[in-house]
Amino acid sequence: MAETRRLRLALVTGNKHKLREAQEILSPYGIDLYMAGPEKIEIQADSLSKIAMVAARHAWESLGKPLIVDDSGLFIEALNGFPGPYSRYVYDTLGVDGILKLLEGEENRHACFKTAVALVLPPLEMVFEGKTCGTITTRPKGSSGFGFDPIFVPEGCSRTYAEMTVSEKNKVSHRAKAMKTLGSFIKSMF
């Protein structure tokens, strides 16, 4: 019987929800993802890809094992793309309610979630991106997921990410798109 090769890959994050979403996507591609703890440094920059790659290279220094870093953000059109790369800080300070307040009375609720996944698998260093657009609700709905999930309804859907199971979110999400591209790439390599 042919032996199936699987790749063990570390996800450097403090966010277990990201791990769960990404594990489900990557497993069919022969990738066993585990959470690794070296501190994820987060530089201030205007591009998620840059932030993810700097963090991934830094993590490699202490971990020395094949790894990925996922940096994601919510880009709101009426706020000129804010909070974008500053999403973590804005989530921790203003939270979901703060975003809804900023959009009070605003008719343009269009927004996009983006993910950049940086891979360090020496000598390879690559970034894979995913994007899903949709609308910001007027009040939080649902209790699953994390972060801004309760206020984001992806295009073509009637429920927020927080009203979906992990598998449902993975059918449409920004993270799933980035992880699938990563998965296909790795599968083609091994």
**Cβ distance to ligand ITT smaller for residue 71 or 163:** 71
Least separation in angstroms between CB 15 and ligand ITT: 4
Stretch of 29-37, 69-77, 104-112, 134-142 contacting ligand ITT, by CB under 6 A: 69-77
* Piece of the chain touching ligand ITT by CB under 6 A; list 84-92, 103-111, 118-126, 134-142: 84-92
Shortest CA distance to 49 belongs to which of 152, 158, 128, 138? 128
> Is 71 among the residues known to form the active site?
yes
Binding status of residue 40 toward ligand ITT by CB under 6 A: yes
Phi-psi region of 80 (alpha: psi -120 to 50; beta: other; left: phi over 0): left
Q: Least CB distance from residue 121 to ligand ITT, whole Å?
A: 18
Nearest-approach distance from CB 148 to ligand ITT, in angstroms: 4
Active-site hit among 70, 71, 92, 97: 71
Angle at 68 between CA 63 and CA 73, to 5 degrees: 130
Sheet holding 67-76, edge to edge: 31-36, 7-12, 67-76, 110-121, 124-136, 152-154
Asked if 151 contacts 98 with a C-beta cutoff of 8 angstroms, the reply is no
Is 126 strand, coil or helix?
strand
Query: Applying CB under 6 A, which residues contact ligand ITT?
Result: 13-15, 18, 40, 70-73, 87-88, 91, 145-149, 161, 175
